[in-house]
A and B are shown apart, each in its own frame.
Chain A
């Protein structure tokens, strides 16, 4: 028997109409199915925590209602549970939002599970834990903690499904757990069946970034063309009890599923291919192979699993410095010389004013994203004269006012800059620094509470 897993979103900011064709396809196919959303990047939870501090009823995925409104009724009526880490820093408040939405849609019996326990800021002493990875610039003596969350595995999500949840609202989970859970629940996979869990982890890993396996960040006109990139279908996996895994996408959508898209996503954010560590299993794709078995249908073979680690990863976020950015444009004859001169003058202004910032200048159109902080590429550029250029200053420092002043130096170019300088924009943003730790899994206690929308909205 085949179970379908659909993905409705791969990050906070993804296309909000993407879930609709996925749910429609799951309903049409009539097989047992679940759908998941992965909307919580490494820093997203810290930004959500800041939001929650401002308003205790916020701090979850801001597009949550927009994402779920068109699919909630179909999910409920066809018994297709929806799981997501869209609870971010505030799963209980996100649960209440889903309950209000369900009531508005006339679904008082819809069951909502709220999974908590990933937030360990108050329960685990971070300074006692071994450090896993850390931002270099983080000074622990003065660092102010914003959030600390453990990447929890699939077991509490399975418990939520056992309690009959139609919607599972979680905060920080491992991304693959969102796919492992409905599979383990449906097939009764044990949490020491590493071969099966590896299939679940691969399913989650391949689907977690949404369209990245169906043509998103893939299409390269003239080299890797895809049909209808304005309407890319988000992925659906077909999984069998024996551990067969096949990737496809909804009918009547754009995008493509082929060996190239699946390879790119299989290796995405992976380091050692034999050790992709998740809280539920260590996935090994070193012997993996792919097979195109039909149009937009790719089978994944040769997955292997190794025992899960004893520890969970905790990512802690701290208030960082400030980032100031400013941009202006130049165009037409002699644009390159004017842009280079502007760049040098901006750096000179930082010096002249003694602003305590670390600064960098980019020449967008010649070299920016591929360049280094010292501008090695734009300084050595000897190519043709670009028709237009945008000069960007980025400045970072602990002193908010100094960073603001640095960014405003770009604005001043509207009068003080080279001939024909225009289009100034500048902004100031707070930065988040992260540090991750390993904590014994027993130290992270999760809780699952499942109630109907009617019970939650009184």
Chain B
């Protein structure tokens, strides 16, 4: 195995968040589709749920789209009531994609830019 490095997901993937009521969905795509299995192994429903537990998230479901090399995380009760009820500046939770991108993963050093 080549040398590995632990980095925030932001180094190797991109993401976008959307909302419906008190539920958020965050898509996650590795820049290199070859990284899909590695992320599938490391970015688990349990880890993502834990990342949003402080906001009251109750459930996380991951849909895998291998043909797109993409994941769709659907997180229940994470928006503190959603845009109509939340006291958060960002009631839609659009900024939450970058919380997901702060999660760390261990990847081959060559997979990271400048690596």
User: Interface of A with B (CB < 8 Å)?
Assistant: 42-43, 133, 135-137, 217-218, 220, 223-224, 260, 263-273, 285-290, 302, 320, 323, 358-360, 362, 364, 368-373, 376-377, 392, 394-396, 431-434
Contact = CB atoms under 8 A, between A and B. Distances in A.
B90 A369 contact: yes
B67 A43 contact: no
Contacts of A43: 83-84
Interface of B: 10, 14-16, 18-23, 25, 27, 29, 31, 54-56, 63, 65, 67-68, 70, 72, 74, 80-85, 87-90, 94-96, 98-99
B89 A288 contact: no
A220 B81 contact: no
29 contacts: A43-B84, A135-B81, A136-B81, A217-B94, A218-B14, A220-B14, A260-B14, A263-B29, A263-B68, A264-B29, A267-B25, A268-B27, A269-B18, A270-B25, A271-B20, A271-B72, A271-B74, A273-B72, A288-B67, A289-B67, A359-B87, A360-B87, A368-B89, A369-B95, A370-B95, A370-B99, A373-B88, A377-B54, A394-B89
B65 to A, nearest CB: 6
A340 to B, nearest CB: 18
A268 B70 contact: no
Nearest to A364: B89
A434 B84 contact: yes
B62 to A, nearest CB: 11
A271 B23 contact: yes
A371 B65 CA distance: 30
A431 B70 CA distance: 36
Given A260-B29, A264-B27, A362 B89 contact: yes
A432 B16 CA distance: 26
Contacts of A289: 67-68
Contacts of B31: 260
Contact of A263 (B27, B54, B74): B27
Given A217-B94, A377-B54, A269 B85 contact: no
Given A263-B29, A268-B16, A290-B68, A135 B89 contact: no
A372 B89 contact: no
Contacts of A433: 84-85
B72 A136 contact: no
B19 A372 contact: no
B90 to A, nearest CB: 4
Nearest to A268: B18
B25 A136 contact: no
Given A135-B85, A396-B87, A287 B27 contact: no
Contact of B67 (A133, A302, A320, A395): A302
A95 B57 CA distance: 44
B84 A432 contact: yes
